[in-house]
Amino acid sequence: MKTFLTMKQLGAGLLGRGGRWLALAACGLFLASCGEEPAKTPGGAAAEAGGGAKKKQIVVGFSQIGAESGWRTANTESIQSEAKKRGIKLLFSDAQGKQENQINALRSFIAQGVDVIAFSPVIVSGWEPVLQEIKKAGIPVVLTDRAVDAKDDTLYATFIGSDFIEEGHRAGEWLAKATGGKAVIAELVGTPGAAPAIDRKKGFEEVLAKNPGMKIIKSQSGDFNRTKGKEVMEAFLKSPEAKQITALYAHNDDMALGAIQAIEEAGLKPGKDIVVVSIDGVRGAFQAMADGKLNCTVECNPLIGPQLFDAVEALLAKKTLPKRTGVMESVYEQSQAKEALPNRKY
């Protein structure tokens, strides 16, 4: 399946705008290759049988941001496996972290006449034109995991995802409790312009406003990945203020894991000399907590497949959904890490 996606992007890259035709052709191939699959699975067979009585199989187009972290991979898997289980045909497209790829994918979903379009927007802005096109085509839109910045909220049916501001709150509150409200904090921000980066910062800062003993002295983007997280933390630790830093707040686990390496290389003990709190709750973070290097991770649950397809089925049954659907989440500390580690799916 990935090969076809790659071909599609390759086509788009080679031929620019004209590449869209090639991309469509590649999508056709991709369709052909996926078409047989549901029939093989028991769920698919059931859907086909049921489909005979009702009408055709449900087709959902899903545009994923990319595979930038273990979290994202788990998110993708949850959606793909749930679609298979329910016999829903899923047209999956990987945007490789680029908004233009995602817009192209959404347009090709319109051209293919899917029943529902779902996507995790790369950044919050710039979606109105393509969402208008989708609305004109009469296709309902479900946003997953990240929101868009659109004035007209009739452009999408519902948003299923975590409340990033709440995650920022939780991280801040945990840190306030753990440090007794006194901390000099270095912050690793996510990709500039991304909803989780904006909201996790906002939520965290709201807690700081209530705790005058806590302040952020360094804040810089680590682009949600390990390499940049490590690189930026290295720079933080070489600044004249480095000795004051007592805590690190990272907007995701991957950046925290990179930063932990940088802290160790500076001859300090992550988790002790510098308290580290991050968000997501990926497996690697639980391992780091079990090793005593990470102090706390605020869970951001990626396993939204079941909720997503519940929403899809409800929409096709012409039900209206609340504009926002939350996801089940909790906060984990070192003491719980060893126990929880074997059960982590992502």
Partner 1 sequence: MRPERFQNRPVRWWSGLEWPVAGLALLLLFNLTFTPGFFHLELRNGHLYGSLVDIINRGSPVVILGLGMTLVIATGGVDLSVGAVMAIAGTVAAQLILRPGFSFPALILASLAVGTLAGCWNGFLVTWLRVQPLVATLVLMVGGRGIAQLLTNGQQIYFEDARLVFVGNGHLLGLPFPVLLSLALLGLTALLTRRTALGLFIESVGDNPRASEFAGVSTRTVKFVVYAFSGFCAGLAGLIDTSNIKSVDANKIGLTLELDAILAVVVGGTALTGGRFSLLGTVVGALFIRTLTTTMYAWNVKSDVAPVPKALAIIAVCLLQSPAFRRRLAAFRRASPS
Q: Give yes or no for residue 46 binding partner 1 (CB under 8 A).
A: no
Q: Which of 108, 221, 297, 301 binds partner 1 (CB under 8 A)?
A: 221
Q: Give yes or no for residue 51 binding partner 1 (CB under 8 A).
A: no
The least distance separating partner 1 from the CB of residue 191, rounded to whole angstroms, comes to: 8
How big is the site for partner 1, counted in residues (CB under 8 A)?
43
The least distance separating partner 1 from the CB of residue 238, rounded to whole angstroms, comes to: 5
Q: Which of 33, 125, 132, 227 binds partner 1 (CB under 8 A)?
A: 227
Q: Give yes or no for residue 258 binding partner 1 (CB under 8 A).
A: yes
Q: Give yes or no for residue 220 binding partner 1 (CB under 8 A).
A: yes
Structure tokens at 231: 């690189």
The least distance separating partner 1 from the CB of residue 225, rounded to whole angstroms, comes to: 5
Residues 6+ apart with CB under 8 A from 153: 323
Q: Which residue, 66 or 181, is less far from partner 1 as judged by CB? A: 66
Q: Give yes or no for residue 240 binding partner 1 (CB under 8 A).
A: yes
Q: Give yes or no for residue 230 binding partner 1 (CB under 8 A).
A: yes
Query: Torsions phi, psi of 287, nearest 5?
Result: -60, -45
The least distance separating partner 1 from the CB of residue 104, rounded to whole angstroms, comes to: 14
Residues 6+ apart with CB under 8 A from 282: 69, 70, 71, 74, 253, 254, 297, 344, 346
DSSP calls for 276-311: EEEEE--HHHHHHHHTTS--EEEE-----HHHHHHH
Residue found by looking up tokens 């980066």 in the block: 197
The least distance separating partner 1 from the CB of residue 109, rounded to whole angstroms, comes to: 21
DSSP calls for 257-273: HHHHHHHHHTT--BTTT
> Packing angle between helix 253-265 and helix 283-290, nearest 10 degrees?
40
Structure tokens at 86: 């329910």
Measured at the CA of 91, the angle between CA 44 and CA 79, to 5 degrees, comes to: 70
d(CA 276, CA 257): 10
Q: Give yes or no for residue 13 binding partner 1 (CB under 8 A).
A: yes
Taking CB under 8 A as the binding criterion, the range among 157-165, 221-229, 272-280, 328-336 that sits at the site for partner 1 is 221-229
Q: Which residue, 2 or 324, is less far from partner 1 as judged by CB? A: 2
Taking CB under 8 A as the binding criterion, the range among 20-28, 201-209, 233-241, 331-339 that sits at the site for partner 1 is 233-241
Could you say which residues in the range 93-132 bind partner 1, by CB under 8 A?
96-97
Q: 307: how many CB neighbours lie within 10 A of its CB?
A: 21
Cα separations in angstroms, 248 against 20, 91, 108, 270 = 44, 39, 42, 9
Could you say which residues in the range 177-206 bind partner 1, by CB under 8 A?
189, 192-193
The least distance separating partner 1 from the CB of residue 318, rounded to whole angstroms, comes to: 35
Cα separations in angstroms, 220 against 192, 244, 247, 255 = 10, 17, 15, 11
Give the footprint of partner 1 on this chain (CB under 8 A): 2-3, 5-6, 9-10, 13-14, 66-70, 73, 76, 96-97, 189, 192-193, 218-221, 223, 225-227, 230-232, 234-236, 238-240, 258, 261, 265-267, 284
